[in-house]
Structures are given as C-alpha cells and as structure tokens.
Amino acid sequence: MHRVTITLDDDLMAELDELIALRGTQNRSEAIRDLARISRPGCRVYVGRDEIKRVQGGLGISILTTPRGVMTGRQARREGVGGEILCEVW
C-alpha cells in the first residue's frame, strides 16, 4: 500500500466534507474508502459533458480538469463541460 498526499482547493474540500457528513463518519480518513486514479500519463481519459458518470451511486465524487479549471463531476455536468477525469474518490 502506498500513501499519497494530495492538495485540494477550498471548493473541492467543501464537497469532500459534504460527502463525509453524508456518510456519518468521524474524520476524513474513515470517509475515503478508496481513490482510483483514472487518467494516467500514458493513457489519458477524456469525457464529454454527457459521458460523466456518477461514482458509487452518488456517494463518491470524480475530479476532472476542464477548460474552466479543476472541478467535480457534478459541477462539470451542471456547467455543461467535459474534460479529463483525474480520479474518483469514494
């Protein structure tokens, strides 16, 4: 198992905290069960605005980089933009 440190901006952190409150866990380390890296340097994964999927039935989030900046999958669907899927957190 590898430990990874990531830095998130305030908006993504707020959405992650909402996910934690939804699950009813005590802290962030208990709330994040898994983080799957989707797009890799050798195999980039791009999706259109209609192809962004829900993660774990809505209990997780996907993080995308779009022409309008880094945002969650939910925000990208709402704004009608696609982009590169960086990872999925659940």
Structure-token pair, residue 81: 């933009």
**Is the separation of the CB atoms in 62 and 5 below 8 Å?**
no
Q: Which of 43, 16, 36, 37 is nearest to 27 (CA)?
A: 16
Q: How far apart are CA 24 and CA 30, in angstroms?
A: 10
Q: How far apart are CA 51 and CA 6, in angstroms?
A: 26
Q: How far apart are CA 11 and CA 71, in angstroms?
A: 8
Per residue in 41-84, pLDDT tens? 999 999 999 999 999 888 889 999 999 999 999 999 999 999 99
Say what the pTM is: 0.69
Per residue in 12-27, pLDDT tens? 788 778 877 877 777 7
Give the DSSP H/E element, type plus range, for residue 69: strand 69-72
